[in-house]
Structure 1
Amino acid sequence: MSKLKTVFMGTPDFAVGCLEVMQEKTEVLTVITQPDRPKGRGQKMTPSPVKVKALEYGLPVWQPEKIKTAECVARLRELNPDLIVVVAFGQILSQEVLDIPRLGCVNVHASLLPRYRGAAPIHWSIINGETETGVTTMMMDAGLDTGDMLLKSKIEITPDMTTEELHDKLAVMGSKLLTDTVDGLMAGTITPEKQDDSLTNYASMLTKETGHIDWTKSAQEVHNLVRGLNSWPVAWTLLDGKNYKVWSTKVRDDKSGNPGEVLELTKKSFIVAAGKGAVEITEIQPPSKKRMSAGDFVRGNGVKAGLIFN
């Protein structure tokens, strides 16, 4: 039996495991990923993780700025894939593209749809204090993550789990779920399920302002923001008008005070009052410096009780 002919569209680390699955199970005609982008202090042009993996496999790589153009649509039609798989690609597909493969376009999405449609579902699930999330495969339509659901897999979000930790677990889960989805589509054993639009919660794109800590919120909400933005774009707060990134915290419901006020110093941390309870900061990054333990920060930066973060 001949292998399924597929096109894979994806960009970040999250998509690499799914590309590995498609390379193993199908004939990947081409890999489509975002153009190389400048990165780091030197602004060196850097390929996406998916491009790096595709080149390791010797697969053709295509990097259009816009997949919707007539030229791109024509090229995809020439390829005539049975299936297109899309994982965190970073561009919206037009109906013309969605109509090309005979089996349709399948997306791997890092939430339990219809919850958290949109660009940053992993971050927002933690920021909003969810206790579980997962991965959903779905048939794509012209809407944003609105297509019929195929398979789901769940995972617990533990109280101190960061977005980085959850991302890595969901990436592994997503590649396994994609395996089951491709097998099920080929065998005709999956029944697509409509999404209930009333249950959705849009996971908007993150901005720098998303990370600004509001100390009038509860300690739990501040803690959720810190772990939800670790390791990007990172929560932050101001002291004397300067920006300090906050990498790691603990909830201290046994402490209270004026929101933003430094209440207490310890050998390894310092404690800041929130609107309800307090937050123990254990790792911080001062302006123009590397991240460090809060203990080192306290010893070297003259932090004392009574200072106000805002």
Structure 2
Amino acid sequence: MMNVIFMGTPEFAVPTLKKLYEDGYEIKLVVTQPDKPSGRGKKLKKSEVKEAAEELNLPVFQPDIVKKQENIDILKSYAPDVIVVVAYGQLLSKDILTIPKYGCINVHASLLPELRGAAPLNWAIINGDTKTGVTTMQMDVGLDTGDMLLKSEVEIDENMTVGELHDILMHKGADLLIETLNKLEKNEIVPQRQDDLLSNYAPMFNNENRKIDWGLTAKNIHDLIRGLSPWPTAYFTMDDKIVKVFKSSYTNDNPDYEPGCVIKASDEGIFVKAKDGIVILKEIQMPGKNKMTVEAYLRGNKFPEKIVF
């Protein structure tokens, strides 16, 4: 069995760490991001990977910058056969990549070379893709540019949210990583170079690319909403205040209203005109309120009709 250093931070990485442990790999060290202030009280919050590592009684290392020489020396001292990296959150230097015999193996949440970067899960849905998956990759100094090892595909149906896709792929990734390590030890994998011409970048989100543009097609808007649900959420503004949207559907009915016009609000949802159809908002969060279904919101509130967002 290989000796492993595991590097990861969010919930997505936890199933892989637990799978390595359950399958008998000797996890020498778990490397994760430093605790960060969270909430109104700014109390330090552990990463999900740190919490899992402590439950398993595994040693934890939290360098602020992992590629500092003193931190590289610490990693070398564990003499790992492989470093497994899942959503760690820091770029690794060549000095780290060359430490283990089998290199650094990354579990990436897309079918590379598609969707390199920080948010491939979200963009797969926003782009309207009907399939995605996970890829194990031999890391190099580029951003998700290393040679591909194994892949596992997942179909995306037209109403799947990024939260649902995340939960499927984090377990798929764990299984694929174990399969990858087994085959690497047996010399049964031929790494494949990525075709850079086929790659797209999946950037992080900001206020601009989360905002709903009602001039887009109804399907485009529906895909944006589910691709950002439950986090970081798509939104629109009403009276200069942000309204978050968590769930929607759409129709191809194309009545004669301008894009962004609220056609009606009922227990079925808030019907808003898009470029070529109607988007039906089903779960929202009004300013200062909790997230709730439109049906629940309308029990105690009215939603204005015939206004234009």
Task: Give the alignment's TM-score, normalised by structure 2.
Answer: 0.97
1:97-156 per-position Cα deviation (integer Å, ceiling 9, x unaligned)? 001111111000000000000000000000111000000001000000000000000010
- Tell me the CA shift for residue 4 of structure 1: 1.2
Decide whether the 8 Å contact of 1:122 with 1:163 is kept in 2: yes
- Tell me the CA shift for residue 26 of structure 1: 1.4
For the pair 1:132 / 2:131, whether they are aligned, the reply is: yes
Alignment of 1:43-122 (within 5 A): 43-122=42-121
Letter in 2 for 1:293: T
For the pair 1:267 / 2:239, whether they are aligned, the reply is: no
Decide whether the 8 Å contact of 1:270 with 1:295 is kept in 2: no
1:22-81 per-position Cα deviation (integer Å, ceiling 9, x unaligned)? 223311110000011122233221111110111111110000011010101111111111
Supply the distance in 2 between the matched residues of 1:269 and 1:26 (Cα, whole angstroms).
50
Supply the distance in 2 between the matched residues of 1:119 and 1:187 (Cα, whole angstroms).
32
Supply the distance in 2 between the matched residues of 1:280 and 1:105 (Cα, whole angstroms).
45
Supply the distance in 1 between the matched residues of 2:164 and 2:128 (Cα, whole angstroms).
15
Decide whether the 8 Å contact of 2:253 with 2:276 is kept in 1: no
- Tell me the CA shift for residue 207 of structure 1: 1.7
Aligned-residue CA RMSD (Å): 1.1
- Tell me the CA shift for residue 299 of structure 1: 4.4
- Tell me the CA shift for residue 14 of structure 1: 0.6
Letter in 2 for 1:8: F
List runs of 5+ in structure 1 lacking aligned partners. none
Supply the distance in 2 between the matched residues of 1:233 and 1:39 (Cα, whole angstroms).
16
- Tell me the CA shift for residue 189 of structure 1: 0.5
Letter in 1 for 2:86: V
**Partner of residue 229, structure 1:** 228
Supply the distance in 2 between the matched residues of 1:167 and 1:205 (Cα, whole angstroms).
16
Letter in 1 for 2:4: T
Amino-acid identity (%): 48
Letter in 1 for 2:20: M
Corresponding residue pairs, total? 307
Does the C-alpha gap of structure 1 residues 299 and 258 become closer, same or farther in structure 2, counting only changes over 3 Å? farther
**Partner of residue 305, structure 2:** 305
Decide whether the 8 Å contact of 1:250 with 1:279 is kept in 2: yes
1:269-305 per-position Cα deviation (integer Å, ceiling 9, x unaligned)? 1200011101011111100110111123334333232
1:178-211 per-position Cα deviation (integer Å, ceiling 9, x unaligned)? 1100100111101100100000010011123221
**Partner of residue 140, structure 2:** 141
Letter in 2 for 1:266: S
For the pair 1:213 / 2:216, whether they are aligned, the reply is: no
Letter in 1 for 2:231: W
Supply the distance in 2 between the matched residues of 1:136 and 1:119 (Cα, whole angstroms).
14
Decide whether the 8 Å contact of 1:21 with 1:175 is kept in 2: yes
**Partner of residue 291, structure 1:** 291
Task: Give the alignment's TM-score, normalised by structure 1.
Answer: 0.97
**3-state SS in 1 of match to 2:194:** coil
Decide whether the 8 Å contact of 1:270 with 1:298 is kept in 2: no
List runs of 5+ in structure 2 lacking aligned partners. none
**Partner of residue 2, structure 2:** 4
Decide whether the 8 Å contact of 1:35 with 1:64 is kept in 2: yes
Supply the distance in 1 between the matched residues of 2:299 and 2:278 (Cα, whole angstroms).
21
Supply the distance in 2 between the matched residues of 1:59 and 1:303 (Cα, whole angstroms).
52
Supply the distance in 2 between the matched residues of 1:307 and 1:146 (Cα, whole angstroms).
47
Supply the distance in 1 between the matched residues of 2:297 and 2:24 (Cα, whole angstroms).
51
Letter in 2 for 1:109: H
Decide whether the 8 Å contact of 1:117 with 1:201 is kept in 2: yes
Supply the distance in 1 between the matched residues of 2:254 and 2:52 (Cα, whole angstroms).
49
